[in-house]
Amino acid sequence: MDLRFSAEDETFRAQVREWLAEHLVGEFASLGDAGGPGREHEGFDVRRAWERLLGEHGWIGLGWPASAGGRGATLMQQVVFHEEYAQARAPHRVNHIGENLLAPTLLACGSEEQRSRFLPPIRSGDELWCQGYSEPDAGSDLAKVKTRAVRDGDDWVVTGQKVWTSLAHVADWCFVLARTDPSASKHAGLSYLLLPMNQPGIEIRPIVQITGTSEFNEVFFDGARTAAENVVGEPGDGWKVAMATLGFERGVATLAQQIGFARELDHVMELARRTGAIEDPIIADRLTQSWIELKVMRYTALRMLAEETPGAEASISKLLWAPWHQRLGELAMAVRGEGALDLTGGELDELQRLYLFTRSDTIYGGSNEIQRDIIARRMLGLPRG
Ligand SMILES: Cc1cc2nc3c(=O)[nH]c(=O)nc-3n(C[C@H](O)[C@H](O)[C@H](O)COP(=O)(O)OP(=O)(O)OC[C@H]3O[C@@H](n4cnc5c(N)ncnc54)[C@H](O)[C@@H]3O)c2cc1C
């Protein structure tokens, strides 16, 4: 298996680099790599303007087919784009959920009308999305969703509650998993609805995180409406469509995420050198081990992409990176030593935020226990425990 980039990929890399050098200037450049998990509050308006600039120049929807307004970029070109983007320290994107979760779902399961209505404003950076799956009693066991959607003339009327809905407070639309047939068995009675967020039947309450910031929310639907045609797939197909979305959750962006990880590790390493903590053999050993494991993750991710087998293998990737990232947060605190978590200075600094936010890495996107369950059942064929 050849894990190297081709000459065409390298030409593409030069184009991306040149574009970023020309456009990532002024207020965009001064933001650095602001945003992202735990930092979504940073420079939001500027990041939104940056998103639109990316859209104008065709950098959103790179991998979508040309017929859907994309560039039809190969997998390796998408990897190249993400790598260069992260290397340039460009701001974190504001519409990851629209571009990387909803758009591929519409390409795979949506109607032609849905694609032509919803893809262009994602590509131009004009409409932001959030994901309405989890509920107070439906997280890992998602099929227990209780939010109801009932047909009323040409509309669906939605009532219920979602929780942990990332970025709902800035989203224009939400893809909602709702129960449309309460008489059907657990998985069969669900539908996947596209619902506008700016309407009277929706209340959004922010949840304050351990970091003191707030990027996810409780979302209450009380007679919220969406047009009858805004169901992806048929009514009752919701489970299948929702699982298709989850399959897109970890793709080529994994490699860009690792560039962010490498930067964080460099930061910890540099601090250890500066403070002398690196003289401690246990700290030196932990830093070395982190570096090795990051390399292993990179080659594993490249191999998985080259094999184009994102199925249950994505669970292996999550099980590698989430605990690794948590350990890095713990290592950062060990390097800082006594008083590392002294928060009396007001705002958290980068490493404190890293330590606190990484507590959630093993929960979101499917908890580690659930990933192990997927591997046990789908890859090893073991019986349900
Ligand atoms: C930062 C963050 C952002 C999020 N963003 C979104 C979002 O935008 N949209 C959205 O819909 N959701 C979002 N979530 C929710 C996330 O998907 C859920 O938290 C996750 O699926 C776990 O569900 P739960 O919190 O209900 O925990 P539970 O399902 O109640 O699990 C509690 C514990 O029990 C364990 N457990 C549960 N079932 C089993 C089992 N069968 N075997 C072994 N152990 C088990 C779990 O691993 C976990 O440790 C987000 C969560 C976080 C932390």
- Kindly state the average pLDDT of the residues 141-160: 97
pLDDT at 217: 97
Q: Which residue has the higher pLDDT, 254 or 298?
A: 298
Question: Using a 6 Å cutoff on CB, does residue 363 contact ligand 1?
Answer: yes
CB contact at 8 A, 168 and 219: yes
Q: Which residue has the higher pLDDT, 139 or 186?
A: 139
Top mutation candidate among 40, 129, 133, 134 for ligand 1, by most atoms within 8 Å of CB: 134
- Kindly state the average pLDDT of the residues 245-254: 75
CB contact at 8 A, 119 and 68: yes
Highest mean pLDDT among 25-39, 102-116, 292-306, 329-343: 102-116
Residue 345, pLDDT > 80, answer no
Token pair 């020309």: residue = 22
C-alpha 96: how far from chain center = 6
Question: Using a 6 Å cutoff on CB, does residue 147 contact ligand 1?
Answer: no
Question: Using a 6 Å cutoff on CB, does residue 134 contact ligand 1?
Answer: yes
pLDDT at 250: 62
Q: What angle do CA 369, 370, 374 make, to 5 degrees?
A: 120
pLDDT at 75: 84
Distance 12 CA to ligand 1 centre (A): 39
- Kindly state the average pLDDT of the residues 276-281: 97
- Asked which of 70-79, 250-259, 277-286 is least confident by mean pLDDT, the reply is 250-259
203 is annotated as an active-site residue: no
Top mutation candidate among 164, 173, 175 for ligand 1, by most atoms within 8 Å of CB: 164
Distance 303 CA to ligand 1 centre (A): 28
Question: Using a 6 Å cutoff on CB, does residue 367 contact ligand 1?
Answer: yes
Distance 319 CA to ligand 1 centre (A): 15
The phi, psi pair for 204, rounded to 5°, reads -115, 120
In this structure, the residue with its CA closest to atom 17 of ligand 1 is: 364
pLDDT digits (tens, 9 = 90+) for 253-275: 777 788 889 999 999 999 999 99
122 three-class SS: helix
Residue 311, pLDDT > 80, answer no
Question: Using a 6 Å cutoff on CB, does residue 139 contact ligand 1?
Answer: yes
C-alpha 205: how far from chain center = 21
pLDDT digits (tens, 9 = 90+) for 9-66: 999 999 999 999 999 999 999 998 888 888 888 899 999 999 999 999 999 999 999 9
Ligand 1 atom, smallest distance to 373 CA: 42
Mean pLDDT score across all residues of the chain: 92
- C-alpha to C-alpha distance for 177 and 156, rounded to whole angstroms: 13
117 three-class SS: helix
- Kindly state the average pLDDT of the residues 179-192: 92
**Who contacts 126 (Cβ-Cβ below 8 Å, separation ≥6)?**
52, 55
Top mutation candidate among 363, 371, 372 for ligand 1, by most atoms within 8 Å of CB: 363
The catalytic residue among 127, 249, 293, 313 is 249
pLDDT band at residue 336 under the 50/70/90 scheme = very high
In this structure, the residue with its CA closest to atom 43 of ligand 1 is: 369
- Kindly state the average pLDDT of the residues 273-279: 96
**Of the candidates 33, 81, 29, which has an alpha carbon nearest to the alpha carbon of residue 58?**
81
pLDDT band at residue 317 under the 50/70/90 scheme = confident
pLDDT digits (tens, 9 = 90+) for 366-384: 899 999 998 999 889 999 8
Q: Is the pTM of this model over 0.85?
A: yes
Residue 228, pLDDT > 60, answer yes
- Kindly state the average pLDDT of the residues 227-236: 97
How far CA 241 is from CA of 22, 101, 178, in Å, comes to 40, 11, 12
Question: Using a 6 Å cutoff on CB, does residue 175 contact ligand 1?
Answer: no
pLDDT band at residue 309 under the 50/70/90 scheme = low
Question: What's the number of CA atoms in the CB half-sphere (13 Å) around residue 11?
Answer: 3
Residue 130, pLDDT > 90, answer yes
Question: Using a 6 Å cutoff on CB, does residue 129 contact ligand 1?
Answer: no
Question: Using a 6 Å cutoff on CB, does residue 36 contact ligand 1?
Answer: no
